[in-house]
Structure 1
Amino acid sequence: MKFEDKISEHEKRKSHALSMGGDEKLARVKAAGKLNARERIGYLMDEGSFLESGLFATSMLPEDRDSTPADGKVAGFGKIKGRMTAVVSNDFTVKGASSSPVNSNKMEHVKNVAAKNGFPVVFLGESTGARMPDIMGAKGIIGVNNNPRQYMRLRTNPWAAGVLGYCFGSATWYSAMADFTVMRKGSCLAVSSPRLVAMATKAKVDYEELGGWRLHTEITGLADLAVDTDEEALEAIQRYLSYMPQHANEAPPRVAVPEGSDALAEDILEIIPETSGKTYDVRKVIERVADKDSFFPLKARFAKTLVTGLARIDGRSVGIIANNPYFKGGAIDADACDKAISFLVQCDSYNIPIVLLVDQPGFLIGEEAEKRRIPGKVMNWLNALALCTVPKISIIMRKSYGLAVRNMGGSNNADEVAAWWSAEVSFMDPRSGVSVVHGVSYDENPEAYAQAMEEMSRDTSAYDLASINGARAVIDPRETRQYLKQMLEVYECGLSGGIGKHMLHNWPTGF
């Protein structure tokens, strides 16, 4: 056979490059109930579609070349549900998937190819951080960081990340920059490991305390979702990308509407209390407004007074921002502001219309709120909303008070505002207004309180708002889904093909 020696050598080198950290280390990964780096790609991507980039890469250090197959990071291109995607999967069995000049170059290459050709990038994180001694000294650190745009985020194409083990260094940076981040429980997302933290600060801390899933889903908001297994994390990434366009210059995909979706709206009145002081869970409203089983909540454990998530209405991708009276009466706190802003940025960047479902008593006030810089966060939210160029449709369900009226799309801050006949809009809850202006309580003087309440409640109804065209429509709650279906068709942005101006695409990635 011609080229027999070349063929033999190539197959030998290829086999070694695919061997990862060896059978013993791979067996330990399997025993721990995890997928290895290549299995993760195989599960994420359509069968047979993966085209690897940099398979024969190794460490630059001659003594480490034989022990660094693919240099610890598996990268390339493939399809997820038939759509092209780039992927970087960290191979923890090779030097802890530590970052080196070579594998950093691999990552940069697939990122750049995806950006230039218009498709998403998925980062599957599990890494000990930077590799030493490879990057020690001036030559090493400049070699790794010689691209000034390495950590620049312009949101030209969607990024998704899975935190699937201990993530330090670049695995943390890319997870923090991603549009969507899912954590497997038991993983850790932090700048440095507990060992290095102990050396630097003399403080002992474990992985969970330093960067576990509860911290990042409930306190920092850096993770959108926590799951139990690698498989669940990869399925979440697949689902997230299904709502996204391939890149910022196309509209999101439209899919078939599940049978029975319209019927869900019929019992919406069963959820809403007749008494304004009683609470309910707005997520049940969302489930009846959106296409059946289409709601995909983001940051559900973080800032629970506000619900954000992706859904479909009549097959179209939409972003939902909804006050949730079930928590703190729906009062908007500092974390809720951050949550809203990050979601607005994402929707504007990827041409996803925004639906605001309003039932809020205003901003949470007090000393703690001021310490959390809520005035600045409120203004940032208003600026982000004003800069959004995707369609914005606001539905005032019940109460909407104070400046937060504007943050939730009122006062012409949305393209369309409709109100349920149960809506009430004013500067302040009339009950609070009675106390502030008249200093009277019901218990002290029921007659005076009733008279003051009548005065403070004047011109606050949905019809009062509609009379000045502050609401373009007053609707029965059961009509909400149909109203949104028709209004989304009105605002399809035919002149631009559904593409916005992306004025938020370079908003800072953190919050």
Structure 2
Amino acid sequence: MEDFVRKLRERKAIAAGTEKDAAAQHQKGRLTARERIELLFDPDSFNEIDTLVTPRYESYMGGKGSRFGDGVVTGFGLINGRQVFAAAQDASVMGGSLGEMHANKIVKAMRMALSYGCPFVALNDSGGARIQEGVDSLGGYARIFDANCEASGVIPQLSVILGPCAGGAVYSPGLTDFIFMTENSYMFITGPEVVRSVMQEQVSQEELGGGRIHATESGVAHFLSRDDQECLLKVRELLSYLPSNNMSDPPYVPPRDDPERRCPELEELVPVDPQKPYDVREVIASIVDDGRFLEVHELWAQNMVVGFARLDGYVVGLVANQPIHLAGTIDIKASIKATHFIRICDAYNIPIITLQDVPGFLPGTSQEYGGIIRNGARLIYAYSEATVPKLMLILRKSYGGAYCVMSSKGLRGDLLYAWPNAELAVMGAAGAVNILFRNEVKAAEDPKARSRELVSEYQEKFNNPYVAAARGLIDDVIEPRDSRRVLVRALHVTLSKRDRHLPKKHGISPM
């Protein structure tokens, strides 16, 4: 009994962390593992498990083997009133390095989350594999990867990088649905020293794999925050849009915003001139409940906008071309971004609303050599495979193959609408006239005037939504101000699609 009490007291002392360890963390602008847990979960709701676990090879720990928990805090609690499991690596214990028992704790929490149908959040802050444990630590990473794959597409998995995450450790976040990073965190396969010695490249940790690099250049990070506090609040916000598992619906929130509200501002936000840019996020804010939109991958592939919002209280996923970046064309990065997001929505029963204003795929050798055909095909596959409600609204341009790949009728889009000034065609009128009537224009007394005349005729006959509506390729032509109420009504009728709530359809594989 005395020994048990002694162990409990020792555990509590260790759980609090030493003043020195806590001070070191705060100097780096980072919170301790338990401070992060307290901030992430609803007050007084977290229940820790496996608190007495110790490293298997205590003799290699330099006297630190008696520190219970083995460098990671695991357990469950409430986030926004719903059960969530989590694992928070504790950098104050052996640098948060991963050993056999450390990995076992994480895997146990993950499998419990999977068994009970709860989201899982991993708070990463680790020096990597525990060298003292050799291959046992590597085997631990493999078990974590396997658990990630088993849970993929069944329960939401979120990775939060709040410190170092290097080597094999990066692949667990890479297998999860969303990755959050802070500006003072970093991820890379090999560190600057190895890069310097092998590749003769001089690069810092931040330049190689800092949060901003992964949010803007690689696209590895879906969200970037200034510090731990902002990051964890954003995790809570994202979870408010996700269901607990793939057999549940996303959380419904009774709306304050009138579902019949008109949006006259849309007639001013989107210029009639197809050459003039605008910010599609303003269109989204006008249509969705209370203008609230959680953008995913905000800083990467900015010619495509994706994210979550609510429409009459129901969670929806938005996919939209962004005319202020690359004129809203679809390139490799945009294809990857939209594909991953669509598969997330489909796995977790979230209806998809597509806002189209796209002149086509981005041309050029860099795109062709980089595999735009393969990546564009992935986007097609994702839209075709998705069984959730698929609504689409054409705001302005919808040209060529880009029309086909974004939720068209041919890809089993449910209800499709267009604004009166929308242009649906193989290409723009000027390009079409240049190909079809080149000789006629050259032979005219005034080629420029004849070209303008032919462009106007082509525009009137072919480049308008009424031709597509007459052939059933879109369901209706609507006024911009009616966009919200039309989409709300369309959402209500399509929510009853009969091919939803299937057993696990697929995992969210890296794209």
> TM-score range, shorter-chain basis?
over 0.9
What is the rounded CA distance, in whole Å, between the counterparts of 1:506 and 1:443 in structure 2?
62
1:309-324 alignment runs, 5 A limit: 309-324=307-322
Which residue pairs with 1:82 in the alignment?
81
Q: Alignment partner of 2:155: what SS?
A: coil
Which letter does structure 1 place at the counterpart of 2:492? E
Q: Measure how far apart 1:171 and its partner are.
A: 4.3
1:81-480 alignment runs, 5 A limit: 81-136=80-135, 141-142=138-139, 145=142, 149-152=146-149, 154-169=152-167, 171-259=169-257, 265-413=263-411, 414-439=413-438, 445-454=447-456, 456-457=458-459, 458-480=461-483
Q: Measure how far apart 1:328 and its partner are.
A: 1.4
Which letter does structure 2 place at the counterpart of 1:427? V
What is the rounded CA distance, in whole Å, between the counterparts of 1:469 and 1:316 in structure 2?
28
Q: Which runs of 5+ in 1 are unaligned?
A: none
Per-residue Cα deviation, 1:296-319 (whole angstroms, up to 9, x for no partner):
000011111110001100010000
What is the rounded CA distance, in whole Å, between the counterparts of 1:267 and 1:482 in structure 2?
14
Which letter does structure 2 place at the counterpart of 1:135? G
In structure 2, do the counterparts of structure 1 residues 79 and 148 end up closer, same or farther at CA, with 3 Å as the change threshold?
A: closer
RMSD: 2.3
Which residue pairs with 1:40 in the alignment?
36
Q: Measure how far apart 1:17 and its partner are.
A: 4.1
Between stretches 455-464 and 340-349, larger displacement belongs to 455-464
What is the rounded CA distance, in whole Å, between the counterparts of 1:123 and 1:416 in structure 2?
38
- Contact 1:356 1:393 survives alignment (8 Å): yes
Which residue pairs with 1:13 in the alignment?
10
Q: Alignment partner of 1:70: what SS?
A: coil
- Contact 2:184 2:211 survives alignment (8 Å): yes
What is the rounded CA distance, in whole Å, between the counterparts of 1:119 and 1:410 in structure 2?
34
What is the rounded CA distance, in whole Å, between the counterparts of 1:257 and 1:443 in structure 2?
62
Which letter does structure 2 place at the counterpart of 1:405? Y
Q: Alignment partner of 1:329: what SS?
A: helix
- Contact 1:348 1:500 survives alignment (8 Å): no
Per-residue Cα deviation, 1:26-63 (whole angstroms, up to 9, x for no partner):
11112333210110001100122111122112221122
In structure 2, do the counterparts of structure 1 residues 108 and 449 end up closer, same or farther at CA, with 3 Å as the change threshold?
A: same
- Contact 2:33 2:88 survives alignment (8 Å): yes
Which residue pairs with 1:506 in the alignment?
507
What is the rounded CA distance, in whole Å, between the counterparts of 2:55 and 2:428 in structure 1?
65
In structure 2, do the counterparts of structure 1 residues 500 and 54 end up closer, same or farther at CA, with 3 Å as the change threshold?
A: same
Q: Measure how far apart 1:255 and its partner are.
A: 0.2
Per-residue Cα deviation, 1:467-511 (whole angstroms, up to 9, x for no partner):
111111110011111011111110112656x635654x2242x22
- Contact 1:72 1:91 survives alignment (8 Å): yes
Which letter does structure 2 place at the counterpart of 1:8? V
Q: Measure how far apart 1:198 and its partner are.
A: 3.5
What is the rounded CA distance, in whole Å, between the counterparts of 2:187 and 2:405 in structure 1?
32
- Contact 2:183 2:226 survives alignment (8 Å): yes
Which residue pairs with 1:25 in the alignment?
21
Please give the TM-score of this superposition, normalised by the length of structure 1.
0.93
Q: Alignment partner of 1:27: what SS?
A: helix
Q: How many corresponding residue pairs? A: 502
Between stretches 344-353 and 411-420, larger displacement belongs to 411-420
- Contact 1:126 1:171 survives alignment (8 Å): no
Q: Alignment partner of 1:403: what SS?
A: helix
In structure 2, do the counterparts of structure 1 residues 234 and 373 end up closer, same or farther at CA, with 3 Å as the change threshold?
A: same
- Contact 1:434 1:453 survives alignment (8 Å): yes
Q: Measure how far apart 1:147 and its partner are.
A: 7.4
What is the rounded CA distance, in whole Å, between the counterparts of 2:65 and 2:168 in structure 1?
24
Which letter does structure 1 place at the counterpart of 2:344? Q
Q: Which runs of 5+ in 2 are unaligned?
A: none
- Contact 1:163 1:187 survives alignment (8 Å): yes
Please give the TM-score of this superposition, normalised by the length of structure 2.
0.93
Q: Measure how far apart 1:10 and its partner are.
A: 3.7
Which letter does structure 1 place at the counterpart of 2:475? R
- Contact 2:145 2:172 survives alignment (8 Å): no
Q: Measure how far apart 1:327 and its partner are.
A: 1.0
In structure 2, do the counterparts of structure 1 residues 348 and 464 end up closer, same or farther at CA, with 3 Å as the change threshold?
A: same
Between stretches 365-374 and 353-362, larger displacement belongs to 365-374
